[in-house]
Amino acid sequence: MSIQWHAAGQYEDILYEQAEGIAKITINRPEVHNSFRPGTLDELADAFEDAATDDSIGVVLFTGAGGRAFCAGGDQRIRGHAGYEDHSGSPRLNVLPLQRFIREMPKPVVALVCGWALGHGWELCNACDMRLCADNIEVGDHRVARSIGLNGGTSWFVPRIIGLGRALELLMTGRHLLADEALAWGWANRVWPLDEFDERAGEYVDMLAGLPTIAVSAYKDAVEFSSAHGLRESLAHELESSLRTRGTEDASEGRASFHEKRTPVFKGR
């Protein structure tokens, strides 16, 4: 991307940068394919919370450093080390709170995926609103082949992204998806050649950043609400959301720009 980023926080395992209404959160452990430890998750949670509450941010990008992996999952080298387990003996590599936060964020969260997104890395991608991918991706979760149970939300996310039958095949066999199949099945929203990825993804993100953030938030909220409610409740929620959005400055700008046959300029108000 040609965007000029500036650091928005100091962390050990991640990079948190901002530019022009966009926040970029990068798992920065390329030497271990961006696998993470408990402290990485703590840092991710802090950066996502900052991006969610910063009114200047309209789009959040989530990616991994180096181009070879988005995230290969939990760092297996830390098993048995101090800090890996909580007081009950359960693993602290729990992605569920971060997944819930991403789903509840009133802003689009876009995963930029190059290379591997496996195990917990795949699970974090699943929680994002969109997945923009390079053609070198390999994504999925093979833990069933080692008789390891579900613990990262895949039973909820994956059927909603690619459909029940395909989800059951992936989850019960543990096989991975490559770029062509991930795109055909709808897991990847876009796939571009690796050598074009930064430029093409940057153009897409610029388009997202120019959208009215309040309306985008309302659409995300409505879709999220409908996934857990019936038709009657979902229609009522959608109408209520539409009424709230209608009185915003951006809504007035949208109507004015349509009648004046010009490109709208939204301010997130």
Tell me the one-letter amino acid at 144.
Answer: V
**261: its two tokens:** 């046959």
CA distances from 255 to 32, 46, 105 (A): 50, 37, 27
| Strands of the sheet with 22-27, listed across from one edge | 6-9, 14-19, 22-27, 59-64, 109-113, 130-134, 190-192
Q: Is the pLDDT of residue 184 over 70?
A: yes
Tell me the one-letter amino acid at 37.
Answer: R
pLDDT, tens digit, 9 for 90 and up, residues 190-208: 999 999 999 999 999 999 9
Q: Is the pLDDT of residue 92 over 80?
A: no
Instruction: Name which of 99, 143, 93 is nearest 118 in CA terms.
Output: 143
Residue 13 CA to its chain's centroid (Å): 18
**34: its two tokens:** 């961006």
Q: Which of 19-23, 26-30, 88-92, 138-142 has the lowest mean pLDDT?
A: 88-92
CA distances from 84 to 37, 70, 78, 89 (A): 8, 22, 6, 9
Q: Which residue has the tokens 């390079």?
A: 134
Q: How many CA atoms lie within 13 A of 196 on its CB side?
A: 8
Q: What average pLDDT does this structure show over 58-74?
A: 94
pLDDT, tens digit, 9 for 90 and up, residues 38-58: 899 999 999 999 999 998 899
Asked if residues 28 and 66 have their Cβ atoms less than 8 Å apart, the reply is: no
Asked if residues 123 and 153 have their Cβ atoms less than 8 Å apart, the reply is: yes
Bridge partners of 190?
132
Instruction: Specify the 3-state DSSP secondary structure of 139.
Output: strand
Whole-model pTM: value is 0.89
User: What span, in angstroms and rounded, lies between the C-alpha atoms of 44 and 35?
Assistant: 13
Asked if residues 222 and 241 have their Cβ atoms less than 8 Å apart, the reply is: yes
Contacting residues for 80 by C-beta, under 8 A, at least 6 apart: none
pLDDT band at 182 (very low <50, low <70, confident <90, very high): very high
User: What span, in angstroms and rounded, lies between the C-alpha atoms of 77 and 135?
Assistant: 29
**55: its two tokens:** 């009114």
Alpha-helix runs per DSSP H in 134-196: 154-162, 164-173, 179-184
Q: Which residue has the tokens 């046959």?
A: 261
User: What span, in angstroms and rounded, lies between the C-alpha atoms of 269 and 250?
Assistant: 6
pLDDT, tens digit, 9 for 90 and up, residues 219-252: 988 998 998 899 999 999 999 888 888 888 888 8
Q: How many CA atoms lie within 13 A of 172 on its CB side?
A: 7
